[in-house]
């Protein structure tokens, strides 16, 4: 989710929003779902990426790349990456999990990494998480999500994916937050906020996961996880992409089962490679 689009893009949406509100909202909704060029594997993550046992599954006619690390018979932790990221971004966390005796399972979301497709929504992630869950003999030892992946992972667990542990890193509390950020980033007039949301729902209407209340469904504050699921939220106080207030909202929605760990100086993505953050996640899952 961009914090601010180029000035030319912002100017175009600002003008079109005033001159033709309906087409502007529809165009913004199509852009909202498009991912862009997949991120490459970082040099630091390449050894972990290449060590993975690779597989694939088909989701809505899109080939989705899957990855597994560690003892095939060990308890498994599921990892769900963020927007314009990929499974290999969890590289150093994967090593920490397997060193702790866990098996790590991850996938490249549609339009990300080595998977096909051009668009991604949290709806896709929930469906894929369910598919990966179906082939597991036991409940997940834990589910870990980063950014948008944390929202999708949380909804999947709330809706029945079996685990007693969820760790959210730089988490998003609700789907509406992602829409708000995008509207501000592209310069669409705020008066078109609701029309944009309606256009997004229209774009999603052919997805079998969609319900009329999709934004309401993807809200972990209004609809938190059950109390038996222990939650851990990790967030940097200087995150410029997703403010820490999102994780504070999540902590407030899970007061009986949640904990918030604050980091400093790591931002939105470097927190994934932080050794102390790994320790918190591993301790939480084990």
Domain boundaries, the chain: 34-174+218-285
Cβ atoms within 10 Å, residue 241: 17
pLDDT at site 182: 94
pLDDT at site 55: 97
Gap between the Cα atoms of 67 and 47, Å rounded: 13
pLDDT at site 137: 94
Gap between the Cα atoms of 55 and 107, Å rounded: 9
Per DSSP, the residues of 169-182 read: ES---BHHHHHHHH
Gap between the Cα atoms of 115 and 168, Å rounded: 23
Nearest CA to 272 out of 251, 248, 241, 249 is that of 241
pLDDT at site 1: 52
What does the pLDDT look like over 33-51, one tens digit per residue?
888 899 999 999 999 999 9
Q: Which two tokens stand for residue 243?
A: 């403010």
pLDDT at site 2: 52
pLDDT at site 280: 97
What does the pLDDT look like over 44-92, one tens digit per residue?
999 999 999 999 999 989 999 999 999 999 999 999 999 999 999 999 9
- Residues of the chain short of pLDDT 50, as ranges, are none
pLDDT at site 172: 97
What is the CATH number assigned to the segment(s) 34-174+218-285? 3.40.50.1820
Gap between the Cα atoms of 250 and 235, Å rounded: 11
Burial class for 108, CB neighbours closer than 10 Å (0-12, 13-18, 19+): buried
pLDDT at site 206: 64
Gap between the Cα atoms of 33 and 35, Å rounded: 6
Nearest CA to 78 out of 147, 148, 1, 156 is that of 156
Sign of the C-alpha dihedral, residues 17, 21, 27, 29? positive
Cβ atoms of residues 152 and 80 within 8 Å: yes
């Amino acid at each position: 989710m961009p914090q601010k689009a180029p000035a030319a893009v912002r100017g175009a949406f600002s003008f079109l929003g005033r001159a033709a509100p309906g087409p502007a909202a529809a165009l913004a909704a199509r852009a909202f779902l498009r991912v862009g060029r997949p991120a490459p594997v970082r040099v630091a993550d390449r050894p972990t990426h290449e060590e993975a046992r690779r597989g694939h599954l088909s989701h809505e006619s899109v080939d989705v790349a899957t990855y597994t690390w560690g003892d095939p018979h060990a308890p498994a932790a599921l990892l769900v990456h963020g927007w314009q990221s990929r499974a290999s971004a969890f590289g150093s966390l994967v090593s920490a999990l397997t060193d702790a005796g866990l098996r790590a399972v991850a996938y490249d979301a549609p339009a990300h990494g080595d998977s096909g497709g051009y668009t991604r929504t949290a709806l896709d992630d929930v469906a894929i998480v369910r598919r990966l869950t179906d082939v597991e003999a036991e409940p997940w030892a834990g589910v870990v999500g980063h950014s948008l992946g944390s929202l999708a992972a949380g909804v999947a667990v709330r809706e029945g994916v079996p685990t007693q542990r969820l760790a959210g890193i730089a988490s998003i509390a609700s789907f509406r937050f992602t829409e708000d950020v995008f509207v501000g980033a592209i310069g669409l007039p705020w008066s078109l906020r609701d029309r944009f949301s309606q256009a997004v729902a229209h774009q999603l209407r052919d997805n079998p996961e969609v319900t009329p209340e999709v934004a309401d469904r993807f809200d972990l504050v209004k609809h938190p996880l059950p109390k038996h699921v222990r939650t851990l939220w990790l967030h940097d106080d200087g995150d410029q992409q997703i403010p820490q207030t999102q994780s504070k909202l999540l902590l407030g929605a899970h007061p009986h089962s949640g904990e918030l760990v604050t980091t400093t100086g790591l931002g939105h993505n470097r927190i994934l490679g932080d050794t102390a953050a790994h320790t918190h996640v591993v301790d939480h899952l084990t």
